Structure 1
Amino acid sequence: MQKPDPEVEKRIETLKEDVRKMLSNAAGKATLEELLTLIDTLQRLGVAYHFEYQISQALQSIYNNNINGSDDDDLYTIALRFRLLRQQGYSVSSDVFKKYVDDNGEFKATLANDARALLCLFESSNLRKEGEDILEQLQRFSTRQLKLMLPHLNSSFAEEVNRTLELPLHKRMPRLEARQYISIYEADAARNDLLLEIAKLDFNSLQKLHRTELCDLSRWWKAIDFATKLSFARDRLVECYFWILGVHFEPKYSISRKYMTKIIVIASVIDDIYDVYGTLDELKLFTNAIERWEVLAANDLPEYMQVCYFALLDVVKEMEDNLVNEGRSYRVHYAKEAMKALVRAYFVEAIWFNTKYVPTFEEYLEISVMSSGYPMLSVQALVGLEEVATKEAFDWAISVPRIIRSSALIARLVDDIHTYKVEEERGDAPSGVQCYMKDHNVSEEEACKKIKEMVDIAWKNINEEIQEPNHPPLPLLLPSLNLARMMEVLYQNGDCYTNSSGKTKKRITSVLVDPIPI
């Protein structure tokens, strides 16, 4: 197992101090565009977590001193300022873009030639809330113009434009974005070599930590021997770790990351038990055992279910032992309640399947939001957080507030759009597409269109929750945002979790296996 290289770690610390000075100087002397570009570059290179305080202070100052933007600011600067502030949780009005609309309600022709500004504008439009018509127009306009310009752009920039139009920055996995952006930044003649060096060294250093965590998890997984004892279930430990890496990648979340990976991989196995293997009588026993959450409850279970049941109890108990030492054992109650709610939803879906019941679309959504697993994971993501995860924070999360529900809707509906045909052929329980078709007497195409619109609205709701003036602290909101992002990433080209041998395997390799050449 690789250990951190002391010389490399020392060099990273030196570079961090240099970047802090760079941020401090930029905040005092640089233009607004230069400061915003520096912050954006640090975020995209994946090293902004080292400079959270300095970046937070800089953005607070920009927000306070430049509320509506300056008349002298160009489109690129206005769009970048808008995006960086909104993603930091500031409520910034979209009216800043109105000056680019002429008297006929059309965007001024002068905007059409600046590809860099248009790309930034497109990225910014993805942080829109419900009812922001000007951002809807801007997204359509920037998309159309960028596509027209593509044949005339240099190859590397054209590739970046294509990648963004396929999946905007706001919906990407931060760690994967860092890996890809480092290569883009290295090819940029205007790059800062100091930033490039710290990005490469830090990425490789983190990659070693993540690989060590995955090795620990692999030993745990092999010791339980799920792959042999529950051969019907998907063996997806690495994919599950990659999923959770999208929620929290920073070193301080190491224990939380391993705990969440164990939870999600066990939940995946439980999902398969309810979906493809257990009889309804067995599933009733398992549901009751989870409700009781005690060792003796396993006596009622078939042997294959006991393997899964004991593994779950052991993982939560191990986390509880960690939390007792920190005086935070109250969190375990919420971890258990979140898992119980997930299993209840699985059981309802199993009853529907076994009784051939086709729910209404509303019934389907009520249950499938929970069975997506995201409300459960959103609670588990707080279990390993620092002081910000108070009892009140857990009461908030367990109630499935709007941001968690929206993230869960994205999880369920994006899954449905990509898997409903395969599931229909397999004879699975009805998907959201089928329920919507039956409920509203519409075609498959119309149902898919409507569900995609619902996903779009859910994204706007997430944005609104993050930008609410009195929103909860960002560390409580980011897991829901990052979980939604992972759904878009893993299902960008179909179900690349269940069928992970193609694009997902390449992405996992780039993040967890191949270091960046120095």
Structure 2
Amino acid sequence: MKNFGLITFMPLLCVFDYLGNKVIMSHVMHLRSSLMTKQNFKEELVNDVQGITKFHHYSIETILPKLSNSQLAQQITNALKFPIKDGIVRVETRKYISFYQQNQNHNQVLLNFAKLDFNMLQTLHKKELSHITRWWKELEIVNTSPYVRDRLVEAYFWSLGVHFEPQTSVTRKILTKISFLLSIIDDTYDIYGTIDELTLFTEAIDRWNINASEELPSYMKIIYQNLLDVYNEIEKELANENKSFLVNYSINEMIYFQEAKWYYGKKVPKMEQYMKNGIPTSGYLLLATTSLLGMGETATKDAFDWLTTEPPILVASCIITRLLNDLLSHEEEQKRGDVVSGVECYMKEYGVTKEEAHTKIRKIIENYWKDLNAEYFKVDVAIIPRVLLMPIINLTRVSEFIYKDGDAYTFSKNNLKDTISEILVDPII
């Protein structure tokens, strides 16, 4: 019965995600239909759905304070803040179940099944997090590297935003462990390691064997050992599918050194150069590749080879993530002694204020979102199935969510903490 529920009612998650964000568009199409009955509107204006949408968003924001129906106001506010492209399925599902329950016309059977499905899957996620927490407690990293951001639960939440289905449990655990270690390595490169230490660490990554750690300082030896151990564990896991060789695709994406050299050389690159370097240094080439490990027969060698070509959909995801991080965390990171960000690069190159740089960079992000969405439909599904494209989309969605109102990964004792409780701790009653 347990497996039957998870498999049969899993589509309800997507249904609730879709319906919750469809509210705005239904209003838009209704407005468009109304306009078509008015003779004083030009036809080209009536057909301008994007323009009508912008107008409609403005009109809804204007009337929101006047709505007496608080449930409708909450639903519309959420749809405005988290449109379909930005929403994390589990988060939006939880919200919409609550909205739907408050609707007097709800279908009780459908609601009961949705709650059952959510709670059963939440139980699985709790077990996974418990397993990963035991692994984390055995690590020495936190004690030997006090400068790092110790964000295991946030790393798991990030992975959950990429893969939430029961059949992706192995992939989710792999992605969480690599994400956690990636964050530690990122902090080491950005704010702690000396240029000599980082050079040695980079060479050790290139050599990829335990003997390469002999010249590393003690704290780096522990990081390096844990990294090798995790990948050895992944290889053993994938050996059951005769796919342990795919681990090398993930290992090959660990590229950080150029960004570190810019910092120590006090060099602020041009914006174009910064974004080009941001593709590998965002960490998303590594995460996207890792997110396909453990996905079974669908994730073929051809799919991993395709990722190594840095297809436009992956490039767009990397740049969006890099720039979102810069916008929301660059000031704090500068205080920590971090590397230069896109904000500083844009300000220096174009001689603009921080506020102007923010506006321009947000426009760049918006354009890359258009590229990402367009590329999703251009990829030949006969070669790369949609199921392998969704992790790339979802990685970008999680970034939008994490950096929507601030750097929630670094400073997680805010709304993210409450969201994590709703998704991983509190069942729906």
Give the TM-score normalised by structure 2: 0.91
Alignment check: 8 A CA contact 1:46 1:199 kept: no
Q: Could you say which residue in structure 1 is the equivalent of 2:425?
A: 513
Q: Could you say which residue in structure 1 is the equivalent of 2:386?
A: 474
Are positions 1:242 and 2:157 aligned together? yes
- CA distance in structure 1 between the aligned counterparts of 2:245 and 2:337, rounded to whole angstroms: 42
- CA distance in structure 1 between the aligned counterparts of 2:347 and 2:15, rounded to whole angstroms: 41
Task: Map Cα deviations across residues 350-376 of structure 1 (whole Å, 9 max, x no partner).
Answer: 111112111111121111221111111
The residue identity in structure 2 corresponding to 1:370 is P
Are positions 1:310 and 2:220 aligned together? no
Alignment check: 8 A CA contact 2:149 2:183 kept: yes
Matches within 5 A, 1:417-436: 417-436=327-346
Task: Map Cα deviations across residues 451-479 of structure 1 (whole Å, 9 max, x no partner).
Answer: 00111111111111122273431111101
The residue identity in structure 2 corresponding to 1:330 is F
- CA distance in structure 2 between the aligned counterparts of 1:514 and 1:390, rounded to whole angstroms: 37
Alignment check: 8 A CA contact 2:321 2:396 kept: yes
> Which stretch has the larger CA shift, 258-267 or 300-309?
300-309
Note closer, same or farther for the CA distance 1:47–1:492 as it changes in structure 2 (3 Å cut): closer
Are positions 1:374 and 2:284 aligned together? yes
Structure 1 residue 297: deviation in Å?
0.7
- CA distance in structure 2 between the aligned counterparts of 1:358 and 1:290, rounded to whole angstroms: 26
Note closer, same or farther for the CA distance 1:314–1:421 as it changes in structure 2 (3 Å cut): same
Match for residue 50 of structure 2 among 136, 141, 163: 136
Alignment check: 8 A CA contact 1:44 1:174 kept: no
Note closer, same or farther for the CA distance 1:439–1:98 as it changes in structure 2 (3 Å cut): farther
- CA distance in structure 1 between the aligned counterparts of 2:119 and 2:142, rounded to whole angstroms: 31
- CA distance in structure 1 between the aligned counterparts of 2:369 and 2:141, rounded to whole angstroms: 36
Note closer, same or farther for the CA distance 1:445–1:47 as it changes in structure 2 (3 Å cut): closer
Matched residue SS, 2:298? coil
The residue identity in structure 2 corresponding to 1:280 is I
- CA distance in structure 2 between the aligned counterparts of 1:47 and 1:258, rounded to whole angstroms: 27
Are positions 1:455 and 2:394 aligned together? no
Matched residue SS, 1:514? coil
- CA distance in structure 2 between the aligned counterparts of 1:491 and 1:323, rounded to whole angstroms: 33
Task: Map Cα deviations across residues 229-288 of structure 1 (whole Å, 9 max, x no partner).
Answer: 211111100000000000001111111111110000000000111112111101000000
- CA distance in structure 2 between the aligned counterparts of 1:307 and 1:96, rounded to whole angstroms: 64
Matches within 5 A, 1:427-446: 427-446=337-356
- CA distance in structure 2 between the aligned counterparts of 1:416 and 1:11, rounded to whole angstroms: 44
Q: Could you say which residue in structure 2 is the equivalent of 1:12?
A: 5
- CA distance in structure 1 between the aligned counterparts of 2:26 and 2:406, rounded to whole angstroms: 34
Structure 1 residue 438: deviation in Å?
1.2
Matched residue SS, 2:286? helix
Match for residue 76 of structure 1 among 1, 7, 26: 26
The residue identity in structure 1 corresponding to 2:16 is L
Alignment check: 8 A CA contact 1:44 1:181 kept: no
Matched residue SS, 1:448? helix
Matches within 5 A, 1:42-191: 43-45=14-16, 76=26, 102-103=41-42, 105-107=44-46, 134-153=48-67, 154-191=69-106
Q: Could you say which residue in structure 2 is the equivalent of 1:389?
A: 299
Alignment check: 8 A CA contact 2:90 2:164 kept: yes
- CA distance in structure 2 between the aligned counterparts of 1:398 and 1:189, rounded to whole angstroms: 51
Task: Map Cα deviations across residues 331-359 of structure 1 (whole Å, 9 max, x no partner).
Answer: 112121123xxxx3x22111111121111
Are positions 1:219 and 2:129 aligned together? no
Matched residue SS, 2:240? helix
Match for residue 261 of structure 2 among 333, 338, 351: 351
**Stretches of structure 1 lacking an aligned partner (at least 5 in a row):** 1-5, 21-38, 49-74, 81-94, 109-133
Alignment check: 8 A CA contact 2:13 2:90 kept: no
Structure 1 residue 149: deviation in Å?
3.0
The residue identity in structure 2 corresponding to 1:205 is M
Structure 1 residue 194: deviation in Å?
1.7
- CA distance in structure 2 between the aligned counterparts of 1:227 and 1:437, rounded to whole angstroms: 36
Q: Could you say which residue in structure 2 is the equivalent of 1:292?
A: 207
> Which stretch has the larger CA shift, 364-373 or 264-273?
364-373
- CA distance in structure 2 between the aligned counterparts of 1:226 and 1:157, rounded to whole angstroms: 47
Task: Map Cα deviations across residues 26-84 of structure 1 (whole Å, 9 max, x no partner).
Answer: xxxxxxxxxxxxx8x65243799xxxxxxxxxxxxxxxxxxxxxxxxxx839969xxxx
The residue identity in structure 1 corresponding to 2:26 is Y
Task: Map Cα deviations across residues 390-440 of structure 1 (whole Å, 9 max, x no partner).
Answer: 111101112221111111111111111112222334443221011011112
- CA distance in structure 1 between the aligned counterparts of 2:35 and 2:315, rounded to whole angstroms: 32
- CA distance in structure 1 between the aligned counterparts of 2:86 and 2:102, rounded to whole angstroms: 24
- CA distance in structure 2 between the aligned counterparts of 1:289 and 1:79, rounded to whole angstroms: 58
> Which stretch has the larger CA shift, 96-105 or 376-385?
96-105
Q: Could you say which residue in structure 1 is the equivalent of 2:247?
A: 332
The residue identity in structure 1 corresponding to 2:59 is Q
Q: Could you say which residue in structure 2 is the equivalent of 1:52?
A: none
Matched residue SS, 2:45? coil
- CA distance in structure 2 between the aligned counterparts of 1:484 and 1:380, rounded to whole angstroms: 15
- CA distance in structure 1 between the aligned counterparts of 2:379 and 2:322, rounded to whole angstroms: 29
Structure 1 residue 192: deviation in Å?
1.6
Alignment check: 8 A CA contact 2:28 2:52 kept: no
The residue identity in structure 2 corresponding to 1:440 is Y
Structure 1 residue 310: deviation in Å?
1.1
Q: Could you say which residue in structure 2 is the equivalent of 1:129?
A: none
Q: Could you say which residue in structure 2 is the equivalent of 1:196?
A: 111
Alignment check: 8 A CA contact 2:115 2:428 kept: yes
Task: Map Cα deviations across residues 480-500 of structure 1 (whole Å, 9 max, x no partner).
Answer: 110111011111110010000
- CA distance in structure 2 between the aligned counterparts of 1:469 and 1:290, rounded to whole angstroms: 32
Are positions 1:255 and 2:170 aligned together? yes
